[in-house]
């Protein structure tokens, strides 16, 4: 950096000048205050991401309650709490909500909050689009739970296999509702992915070349690229199944009798569905890398290896989908290839785990709640990974297909691989979000309850599955002998419930009464900790210049900062993609109500699609004037800084200041 960028002697601003600058930034970046309209037109990436995280946890709690009721139903043989129909709706809604409304959105939301701060910029590139994504997600989520209340809860499983979800067997509107919920939540995911990729490509602080990007940011970039290439497929097929199902249209995409193909559904679904697992897991690896580095108090061991394993996992993740379909009639050679590719993924994951162990081994540990949750992740995720290796083998897979062994496996992978790191991340970044620490004692209690509860629920399921208990059955007979282990699992569900209640209580307590955090309570190395807690709306007061991979640890006392960004408009610095050299100034759009309006139209059109395909055309026509308003209001705000240089008020003003 030193040689590439021209540094100038600092004008040595006086404290008054700095104060003035800070006041201007505050005014410029302020979001509208007072009243619901102001609240709804907020486009600050941090505010929206926090709302997104809270919303995701609410959907998580609701889906968890559904799981709890299912556990109650299965506690004893011949139980009568849930009938078969309601049980079907419960497990489908549980799976759909956990995947589409919790796991993916919460990870991307964490990225939307942290990535701009970590790369040293002031926001996401398209703030209004960001708000639009959040609102479509909320509409999709509300729609799913509303459907359950109205007896319209989807009931064909979260992967909605045809023909069960087709027009012949999936009567009513339940599957259509599922499809539209998926569509709405995936719009949000795609929006978030684009924000994160563009933010990292263009907005990195000067000096943050590709090999200095924090590992969490790398994980979000990899995840976002996977999102871009996986999510469109599921949106395509949910729309096609809904056309197949619409009376009067009667297409035959998945109808065997007319040349369509039910197996095609499985292929396309899992072509999306398997990368989806890594879309949830890779951000978790980013969280784990960050926390392990901070709490080992030493540079990450194997930075390059960790980055490459994430990228390798992403590529391999697109080539293993058939291992979900080993019970479908597929050519044997094909199955063998997918067994091999599924086992291949052990290599990057193994390398990751060894890098983390090495970092911990060589560090001086600071054993706090986030690190404890990471240890929990190790134990549970490795177990889930081992059953994954078992399931990659075709003969065993065929035997265990659709049993509780599979349920145990993917909960070990997903809760171990994503929820434990997520909790670790929340305990880690809560001080940054709120300015206060979460309580340590409650944190440890939370961990112990969650760890014990989780293993009580899901470990017995391995044995139940081996004993032949199939998944998605609403009850079983006493003669099967499955009663005791199921009771044990249900007791575990109580303990997990207690763990979540402890967490929520801790959050409510600490947000008001927690210990004050300060800027960098953990002594961490990434840039978000250089801002105040919570960060100001403009993120960084001066965009920093990065001197090393661990930005705050390697920062020297005389580290330069970026000056000269205009403080009267929301402006940031665009840098080059590889080396992050300053390129041009970029202005953000301000708050607006149009994103909400547009999300409502999208939601309305998608709900309408359940009943008539003309909803799409009507939606397009109605959105045109709204989009026109959105774009035109953009353009108005853009005017001053984009006018030609000679009559640019900013430059003129600066020149007069210089002359003076």
Partner 1 sequence: MKSLETFPSQTIDVRKLTASESDESSPLWWGNTLNLAMETVVFGGLIAMYVTIVMNTDPFPPIRTTSGLPILRNAAPDLFLPTIGLIVLLVSLIPAIWLDISSRRHNVRSIKIASIVTLGFNLAAIIIRYYEFDSLNFKWDDNAYGSILWIILIMHLIHLFVLMGEDLSVILWIFFKGVDEKQTVDLTVAAVYWYWIVGMWVLLYAIIYISPRLM
Prior bond of 534 cis (ω within 30°): yes
CB 152 within 8 A of CB 200: no
- CA-based radius of gyration for the chain: 26
Q: Least Å distance between CB 538 and partner 1? A: 13
| 267 vs 472 by CB, closer to partner 1 | 267
Give 224 or 387: the residue with its C-beta nearer to partner 1.
224
In the complex, minimum distance from the CB of residue 638 to partner 1, in angstroms, rounded to a whole number:
5
In the complex with partner 1, which residue's Cβ is closer, 472 or 542?
Answer: 542
Q: Quick check: 196 and 45 in contact, CB under 8 A?
A: no
Q: Which two tokens stand for residue 271?
A: 């072509």
CA distances from 328 to 234, 253, 302 (A): 20, 18, 40
From the CB of 333, what's the least distance to partner 1, in Å?
A: 17
CB of 581 to partner 1, least distance (A): 10
Provide, rounded to whole angstroms, the least separation between the CB of residue 627 and partner 1. 7
Nearest approach, Cβ of 446 to partner 1 (angstroms)?
37
Q: Residue 315 or 508: which CB sits closer to partner 1?
A: 315
Cβ proximity to partner 1: between 44 and 541 the closer is 541
Rounded CA-CA distance 101/419 in Å is: 14
Q: Taking the complex as a whole, how short is the minimal distance between the CB of residue 488 and partner 1, in angstroms?
A: 43
Angle at 66 between CA 64 and CA 68, to 5 degrees: 70
| Range 540-567 burial, b when 16+ CB lie within 10 A, else e | bbbbbbbbebbbbbebeeeebebeebbb
Q: In angstroms, what is the minimal distance from the CB of 170 to partner 1?
A: 18
Which DSSP string corresponds to 100-119?
Answer: IIIIHHHHHHHHHHHHHHHT
Q: Are 500 and 102 in contact (CB under 8 A)?
A: no
CA distances to 74, 195, 225, 539 from 228, in Å = 39, 11, 5, 27
Task: Write the CA distances from 265 to 19, 163, 330, 403, integer angstroms.
Answer: 60, 10, 14, 21
Burial, 291: exposed, middle or buried (Cβ in 10 Å; 0-12, 13-18, 19+)?
Answer: buried
10 or 515: CB nearest partner 1: 10
Task: Output the smallest distance, CB 198 to partner 1, in A.
Answer: 5
The smaller minimum CB distance to partner 1, of residues 486 and 530, is found at 530
- Residue of 213, 228, 439, 184 lying closest to 318 (CA atoms): 228
Neighbours of 80 (CB within 10 A): 8
Which residue, 463 or 561, has its beta carbon nearer to partner 1?
561
Residue whose CB is less far from partner 1, 36 or 247:
247
Q: Minimum Å distance from CB 514 to partner 1?
A: 25
């Amino acid at each position: 950096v030193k040689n590439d960028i021209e540094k100038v002697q600092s004008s040595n601003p006086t404290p008054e000048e700095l104060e003035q600058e800070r006041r201007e930034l505050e005014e410029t970046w302020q979001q509208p205050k007072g009243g619901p309209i102001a609240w709804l037109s907020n486009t600050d990436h941090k505010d929206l991401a926090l709302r997104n995280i809270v919303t995701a946890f609410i959907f998580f709690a609701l889906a968890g309650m559904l799981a709890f009721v299912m556990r109650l139903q299965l506690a004893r043989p011949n139980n009568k709490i849930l009938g078969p129909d309601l049980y079907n709706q419960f497990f489908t809604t549980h799976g759909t909500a956990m995947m589409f409304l919790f796991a993916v959105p919460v990870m991307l939301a964490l990225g939307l909050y942290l990535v701009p701060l970590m790369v040293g910029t002031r926001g996401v590139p398209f703030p209004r689009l960001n708000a639009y994504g959040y609102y479509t997600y909320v509409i999709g989520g509300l729609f799913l739970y509303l459907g359950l209340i109205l007896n319209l809860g989807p009931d064909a499983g979260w992967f909605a296999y045809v023909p069960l979800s087709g027009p012949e067997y999936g009567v009513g509107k339940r599957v259509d509702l599922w499809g539209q919920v998926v569509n709405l939540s995936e719009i949000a995911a795609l929006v978030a992915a684009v924000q994160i990729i563009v933010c990292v490509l263009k907005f990195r602080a000067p000096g943050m070349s590709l090999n200095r990007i924090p590992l969490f940011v790398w994980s979000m970039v990899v995840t976002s690229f996977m999102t871009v290439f996986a999510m469109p497929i599921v949106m395509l097929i949910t729309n096609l199944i809904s056309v197949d199902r619409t009376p009067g249209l009667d297409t035959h995409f998945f109808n065997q009798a007319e040349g369509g193909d039910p197996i095609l559904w499985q292929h396309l679904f899992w072509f999306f569905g398997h990368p989806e697992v890594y879309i949830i897991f890779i951000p978790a690896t980013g969280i784990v890398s960050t926390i392990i580095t901070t709490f080992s108090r030493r540079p990450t061991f194997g930075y390059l290896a960790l980055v490459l394993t994430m990228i390798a996992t992403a590529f391999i993740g697109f080539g293993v989908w058939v291992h979900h379909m080993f019970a479908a009639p597929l050519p044997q050679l094909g199955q063998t290839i997918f067994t091999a590719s599924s086992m291949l993924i052990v290599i990057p994951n193994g390398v990751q785990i060894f890098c983390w162990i090495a970092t911990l081994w060589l560090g001086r540990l600071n054993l706090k709640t986030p690190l404890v949750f990471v240890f929990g992740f190790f134990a549970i995720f490795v177990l889930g990974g081992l059953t994954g290796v078992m399931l990659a083998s075709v003969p065993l897979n065929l035997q265990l297909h659709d049993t509780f062994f599979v349920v145990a496996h993917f909960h070990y992978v997903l809760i171990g691989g994503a929820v434990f790191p997520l909790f670790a991340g929340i305990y880690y970044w809560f001080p940054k979000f709120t300015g206060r620490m979460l309580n340590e004692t409650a944190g440890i209690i939370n961990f112990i309850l969650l760890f014990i509860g989780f293993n009580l629920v899901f470990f017995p399921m391995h044995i139940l599955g081996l004993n032949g208990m199939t998944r998605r059955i609403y009850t079983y007979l006493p003669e099967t002998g499955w009663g005791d282990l199921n009771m044990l699992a249900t007791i575990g569900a109580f303990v997990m419930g207690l763990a979540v209640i402890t967490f929520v209580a801790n959050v409510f307590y600490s947000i008001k009464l927690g210990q004050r955090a300060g800027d960098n309570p953990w002594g961490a190395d990434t840039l978000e900790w250089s801002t105040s807690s919570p960060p100001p709306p403009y993120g960084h007061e001066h965009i920093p210049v990065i001197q090393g991979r661990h930005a705050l640890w390697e920062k020297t006392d005389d580290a330069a900062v970026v000056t000269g960004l205009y403080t009267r408009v929301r402006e940031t610095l665009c840098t080059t993609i590889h080396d992050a050299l300053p390129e041009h100034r970029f202005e953000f759009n301000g708050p607006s109500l149009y994103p909400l309006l547009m999300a409502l139209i999208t939601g309305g059109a998608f709900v309408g699609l359940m009943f008539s395909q003309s909803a799409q055309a009507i939606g397009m026509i109605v959105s045109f004037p709204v989009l026109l308003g959105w774009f035109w209001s953009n353009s108005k705000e853009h005017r001053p800084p984009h006018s030609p240089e000679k009559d640019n008020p900013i430059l003129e003003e600066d020149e007069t200041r210089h002359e003076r």
